[in-house]
Structure 1
Amino acid sequence: MAPFAIFLFSFLILHHRVTSDLTQETQALQTLISKLRHDPRNSWNPSEFICNWRGVTCDPTNSSVISLRLPGARLVGEIPSNTIGTLTHLRILSLRSNALTGGIPSDFSNLISLRSVYLQNNNFSGELPASLINTTGLEHLDLSGNDFSGEIPFSVNNLNKLTNLLLQNNAFSGELPSINVESLLDLNVANNKLNGSIPTSLSKFPATAFSGNVNLCGDPLPSCNTTFFPSPPPSIVSEPPPVRKKSNKLSTGAITAIAVGSALILALLLLILLLCVRKKTTQRTQKSKQAPKFHAGTSPAAAGILPAMAGTSSEKEDLTGVSTEGGRNKLVFFDGGIYGFDLEDLLRASAEVLGKGSVGTSYKAVLEEGTTVVVKRLKDVTATKKEFELQMEVVGKMKNENVVPLRAYYYSKDEKLLVFDYLPAGSLSALLHGSRGSGRTPLDWDHRMRIALCAARGVAYLHVVGKVVHGNIKSSNILLQQDTNRDASVSDFGLNTLFGGLSTPNNRVTGYRAPEVLESRKATFKSDVYSFGVLLLELLTGKAPNQASLGEEGIDLPRWVQSVVREEWTAEVFDVELMRYQNIEEEMVQLLQIAMACVSTVPDQRPAMQEVVRMMEDMNRAETDDGLRQSSDDPSKESYSHTPPTETRNSPATITP
């Protein structure tokens, strides 16, 4: 009887403590929501169990709150004390993309279990809060896009489990402390007011992590000026030492030495001049026997176009060593081409690097007569010459307004070049992920929907009409038309067969590839659908698939979206730039459903691309024609009624966000 009494007493004590904790946390959160202006949809019902409140997650025993997520909830004002700070078991705090002001309450130091803090894109101010730095178990800290100021304290080193520290776009000043946290994988202090040299312990991070701090220097930024020495203070004045007067006349020996030295120097200069003339003559003779080289241009006007391209490099590079094998190989143009240059003209063109991808390097080439094209220099091609030419014939036949046409190609033992039209409006990646500063023009919903539908039509054309697998769908391969900046075309399609399977993927490409492709290394129509689904999620969320801090848990984009949707917090999925537009929620959810059907882990459950096009067009059929839908007499649309070879048609899975 005594053991039972002890058990009953312990249970009652524990139940009282749990009930007391939840009561206190309920009161704290009710105070929080009552003191802050917010979206009425985010109000909590006090009669409802706290663990069922939107954005609130409790532990498995429902004894305490462990997660509070209110991103984009239109919270306005300062966080009151004795609210969030009383949630002592809190592990994840996400209040990003609101309008919160003031400093971080000091009672945040009570949150000893805190692991992840996401307060980016608010209006917080004051110094880096010591209450957060004292939370030694912290792993993710994102305070970017606020008005924090003051110095970054050395005590950041106390966060010995920190993996992500994001402080960009604030007003931090002073010198960077030597942060030596072994677990730190991602650091960003760009666009602050920092000065001095970058500590050696932080030089492993890229230059973009420190850009926008005009007085910051040292590896990986340009080196600091070590030759500058300050002048002595003006108050310290000393008499100059006495100067002995010297004779202005030179001795006979000095004059003789000067004359002999001058003669030797003159003779040396004449010898160097003769050698240079001889070398130049030899080079001209050799050059006349060889084909011209494709060289990098140095035109400042041309260089100015490069920064607008997505994921591009502003570097310039020599494209030399292009062998013409005695002139036997020629630049092969396709029928109906619009260009009249030859290989020699192309190799003389001024070229600048647009980007380096998994299959090769792309150059913007400006020919002497003013024509501008894109030349892709392929690498690691394993196909034979016959296989290469046959595949180029297939790719060259693809003619559609939503496909970037291949205009010509060149094949030799050492070089394989492809020639495409140059579209100066850039890529979807640049438009979507370009600078999000105050001067940025947001990509609105209509533009995103138009680009998505144009890209879908382009991929569907490749699948149905061309029987071609794209194999490399990503936002940097969706190029925009210059006239409207809205019509889009897909590029870099049908090249995967040239490499004996897919090339080794980098982080950017891996985020788009279907799970089965990462193992088989073979792209299919269904894997293209998966990649296109990731592209739709990228348009909806504004997040790149390779984003390091994606979704607070480091998972890939489809799984992150699925986890958020499962928690019935759909608003957190969509790009904050879309939240300012009215009456588009239903369309966004519809497109989200299509995207989630495309990224199904089971290939046979994914819809075919022509079905994806139909579903996207159906989203607008109840409205006035806005140019997004094709007319019923469009011959390319009629061809979508056929199914790509070796692919089965399936209805999309039902997704309920």
Structure 2
Amino acid sequence: MAATSLVLTCFFSIFLLTHRVNSESLQEKQALLTFLQQIPHENRLQWNESDSACNWVGVECSSDRTSVHSLRLPGTGLVGQIPSGSLGKLSQLRVLSLRSNRLSGQIPPDFSNLTHLRSLYLQNNEFSGEFPASVTQLTGLVRLDISSNNLTGPIPFSVNNLTQLTGLFLGNNRFSGNLPSITVDLTDFNVSVNNLNGSIPTSLSKFPAASFAGNVNLCGGPLKPCKSFFVSPSPSPSSPDAPLSGKKSKLSTAAIIAIAVAGAVVGLLVLALLLFLCLRKRRRGKEGGTKAAETTATTRSVPSVPPAGGASSSKEVTGTSSGMGGETERNKLVFTEGGVFSFDLEDLLRASAEVLGKGSVGTSYKAVLEEGTTVVVKRLKDVAASKKEFESQMEVVGKIKHPNVFPLRAYYYSKDEKLLVFDFMPNGSLSALLHGSRGSGRTPLDWDNRMRIAITAARGLAHLHVSAKLVHGNIKASNILLHPNQDTCVSDYGLNQLFSNSSPPNRLAGYHAPEVLETRKVTFKSDVYSFGVLLLELLTGKSPNQASLGEEGIDLPRWVLSVVREEWTAEVFDVELMRYHNIEEEMVQLLQIAMACVSTVPDQRPVMQEVLRMIEDVNRSETTDEGLRQSSDDPSKGSEGQTPPGESRTPPRSVTP
């Protein structure tokens, strides 16, 4: 009897517990369904009503599955206004990410119910209205990003209610008025590209100028000093305090006569000198005019010769400049086929420029022309090729057209200057994206985007090898440039022939194949090796230019091989990738491809088109019905226990992040 009672008691307890779980999660499940049913979205969010909400794409529950702790739906095609009475009922929510959608209207007032929220990411939407008052009531917030929306009005002083806040991102909106004095202990702050005015409060002056850029009426540290409304008047000459007034009254009549005579003598001497110079200039002008006429006639007699075949593939813009020896030479800015620029060399030389970076082949400048065009000018150094060799190689490079190959737009050769002109890529390079600002202010580079970078870079390099029959010769992360959708294009290709083969291959430091050290020549096989190092860089997050990796002087391929031999393969991969589930097999497959590329024996390396095929096979093998990848760590913590600005889920491949 006692045993029977015990069994019944246990059964009843389990029943109550199950009923409690269901009853506690039912309201939140209905709130999520209300949100999904009332807002247009892409079909990837196929939430099954008969299944637990904790199993839905983008939803993460507490360990006992009684409440929703995070909702991450970045870049999932959500459109329109967030319905009232939906997300505001998720009272236990810790992380909410709806970034990179097309949500509009005001941020709902019932967001004030999300009192446990720590991270709110609503950037890159179309929200409007003033700064949401409901958000200022979420006193547990650590990260708040509502940048890149259409929010207006002032930034309220009540932001100081968010005493736990460490990151506040309000840029690219239409906020106006003065900046309030924000006294919470922020580590990241940005209000750039708004309509703010007045002076920057002392509490915010510790942040860099970039945090305030794009507000033309803001002033004070770290921007330009604020101007005073009051200008100190200059002393009046008639004032009794004028410094010379006493001395003037003491001048005698003789002194005044002496000054007048001296002034007259000096004036006559100056007049005589001016007459002499005018006569001399007129005489030289007649002689120079005769020589200029002869030079003009000679210049006009030189015809523009089109290339063989009759079709002109480039155009020349001609100017003149003085060489170091005082000689005048014709300068030719040669535009490649397909170039649509309308500037000439003089326009380029007059453009305002800033240094983008100094590399092994030269220095790159961002040049903004007077007519508004922005280009990149690469100023080459240590070019050993003759003018004929230079122009011949540029003719080859200029004909290459492929979506994943950075096109050369124009080039210029003179005795003292060798210039290349390209489009400006505002998204920068893979090197900056992968290694820049690792820490609490960084958005991790997720796995899907790393695969996209690997595939598109491989396509560009394979095109150079197969279609253009051209060795790249300088593959490295800083030469992989990014489009906004994370597609890439390879740059700085085909320049190796312009430099002396006798010089050390320092321009391939960290990426060069072993045989290049001996032969001083780059080949298709050495390109494959360098690309393999690039893949290892994507997988490990480590720069191959580091002096050592665990051991003095060890390079990236040998470091990876030593770790894999010790069966610590998981230690190879970038810690930022450890937050994603279900990608381990793909990472290992890409690692195997990379290790094949960095074989020390050139003949054992695959050709580039085979490398591309293998990477595409890995990409095709990915499971596409899993939706968003799930994070394996605490969503409120980034690598090394730091709070990330972004969330730890990967958007679907079909959606641009």
Distance 2:510 2:411 in 1: 20
**2:514 aligned with 1:498, yes or no?**
no
Change (3 A) 1:500 1:19: same
Task: State the AA in 2 paired with 1:104.
Answer: I
Contact 2:380–2:418 at 8 Å: present in 1 too? no
How much has 1:33 moved relative to structure 2? 2.1
How much has 1:452 moved relative to structure 2? 6.2
- Aligned partner of 1:440 in structure 2 is none
- Aligned partner of 1:169 in structure 2 is 172
Task: State the AA in 2 paired with 1:254.
Answer: S
Distance 2:258 2:7 in 1: 111
How much has 1:253 moved relative to structure 2? 5.8
Structure of larger gyration radius? 2
- Aligned partner of 2:580 in structure 1 is 563
Contact 2:35–2:87 at 8 Å: present in 1 too? yes
- Aligned partner of 1:281 in structure 2 is none
Local SS of the residue matching 1:357: strand
Distance 1:205 1:601 in 2: 44
Contact 2:73–2:98 at 8 Å: present in 1 too? yes
Q: How does 1:38-53 map to 2 (within 5 A)?
A: 38-53=41-56
Q: How does 1:297-316 map to 2 (within 5 A)?
A: none
Change (3 A) 1:32 1:512: same
- Aligned partner of 2:594 in structure 1 is 603
Contact 1:513–1:527 at 8 Å: present in 2 too? no
Task: State the AA in 1 paired with 2:595.
Answer: D
Distance 1:121 1:350 in 2: 37
- Aligned partner of 1:199 in structure 2 is 201
Task: State the AA in 2 paired with 1:456.
Answer: L
Q: How does 1:402-481 map to 2 (within 5 A)?
A: 402=400, 419-423=418-422, 425-427=423-425, 429=427, 455-457=460-462, 460=465, 466=471, 468-476=473-481
Change (3 A) 1:261 1:222: farther
How much has 1:41 moved relative to structure 2? 4.6
How much has 1:373 moved relative to structure 2? 10
Q: 2:215 aligns with which of 210, 213, 216?
A: 213
- Aligned partner of 1:655 in structure 2 is 622
Identity %: 37
How many aligned residue pairs are there?
434
- Aligned partner of 1:342 in structure 2 is none
Distance 2:411 2:132 in 1: 56
Distance 1:151 1:373 in 2: 38
Q: Deviations over 1:463-494 (max 9, x none)?
A: 9864835224445499xxxxxxx997621776
The answer to which structure, 1 or 2, has the higher relative contact order (CA under 8 A, 6+ apart) is 2
Contact 1:605–1:652 at 8 Å: present in 2 too? no
- Aligned partner of 1:547 in structure 2 is none
How much has 1:26 moved relative to structure 2? 1.0
Q: How does 1:36-115 map to 2 (within 5 A)?
A: 36-115=39-118
Task: State the AA in 2 paired with 1:603.
Answer: A
Contact 2:170–2:192 at 8 Å: present in 1 too? yes
Q: Deviations over 1:134-184 (max 9, x none)?
A: 223322212123232232122323334433322123232221112233342
Change (3 A) 1:227 1:20: same
Distance 1:653 1:431 in 2: 26
Change (3 A) 1:406 1:151: closer
Change (3 A) 1:57 1:223: same
Local SS of the residue matching 1:114: coil
Distance 1:362 1:519 in 2: 22
Change (3 A) 1:145 1:262: farther
Local SS of the residue matching 1:109: helix
- Aligned partner of 1:443 in structure 2 is none
Q: How does 1:624-643 map to 2 (within 5 A)?
A: none
How much has 1:189 moved relative to structure 2? 1.6
**2:249 aligned with 1:254, yes or no?**
yes
Q: How does 1:531-610 map to 2 (within 5 A)?
A: 559=577, 563=580, 600=591, 603-604=594-595, 609-610=608-609
Contact 2:479–2:492 at 8 Å: present in 1 too? no
**2:53 aligned with 1:20, yes or no?**
no
Local SS of the residue matching 1:168: coil
Task: State the AA in 1 paired with 2:213.
Answer: S
Q: 1:116 aligns with which of 115, 119, 123?
A: 119
Local SS of the residue matching 2:182: coil
Task: State the AA in 2 paired with 1:563.
Answer: Y
Distance 1:397 1:147 in 2: 49
Contact 2:195–2:215 at 8 Å: present in 1 too? yes
Distance 1:68 1:79 in 2: 14
- Aligned partner of 1:518 in structure 2 is 543
How much has 1:655 moved relative to structure 2? 3.0
Distance 1:123 1:102 in 2: 7
> What is the TM-score normalised by the length of structure 2?
0.50
Q: How does 1:313-392 map to 2 (within 5 A)?
A: 353-357=353-357, 359=359, 361-363=363-365, 374-376=377-379
Task: State the AA in 2 paired with 1:33.
Answer: L
Distance 1:516 1:430 in 2: 17
Distance 2:535 2:182 in 1: 31
Local SS of the residue matching 1:205: coil
Contact 1:501–1:522 at 8 Å: present in 2 too? no
How much has 1:196 moved relative to structure 2? 0.9
Contact 1:455–1:490 at 8 Å: present in 2 too? no
Change (3 A) 1:430 1:252: closer
Distance 1:517 1:463 in 2: 31
How much has 1:94 moved relative to structure 2? 1.6
Distance 2:376 2:77 in 1: 47
Q: Deviations over 1:375-398 (max 9, x none)?
A: 5377xxxxxx9xx979xx99x979
What are the ranges of 5 or more consecutive residues in structure 2 without an aligned counterpart? 233-238, 240-244, 271-323, 326-335, 337-344, 369-374, 401-406, 433-452, 512-533, 549-554, 558-572, 598-605, 625-657
Q: How does 1:134-149 map to 2 (within 5 A)?
A: 134-149=137-152
Distance 2:21 2:380 in 1: 66
Distance 2:36 2:618 in 1: 43
How much has 1:601 moved relative to structure 2? 8.3
Distance 1:196 1:210 in 2: 12
Distance 1:652 1:79 in 2: 34
Task: State the AA in 1 paired with 2:212.
Answer: F
Change (3 A) 1:160 1:376: farther
Contact 2:364–2:376 at 8 Å: present in 1 too? no
Local SS of the residue matching 1:130: coil
How much has 1:208 moved relative to structure 2? 3.4
Distance 2:488 2:74 in 1: 32
Task: State the AA in 1 paired with 2:580.
Answer: S
Local SS of the residue matching 1:563: coil
Distance 1:87 1:252 in 2: 85
Distance 2:467 2:576 in 1: 24
How much has 1:54 moved relative to structure 2? 2.2
Contact 1:501–1:521 at 8 Å: present in 2 too? no
Distance 1:72 1:138 in 2: 22
Task: State the AA in 1 paired with 2:148.
Answer: G
Change (3 A) 1:408 1:213: closer
Local SS of the residue matching 1:18: helix
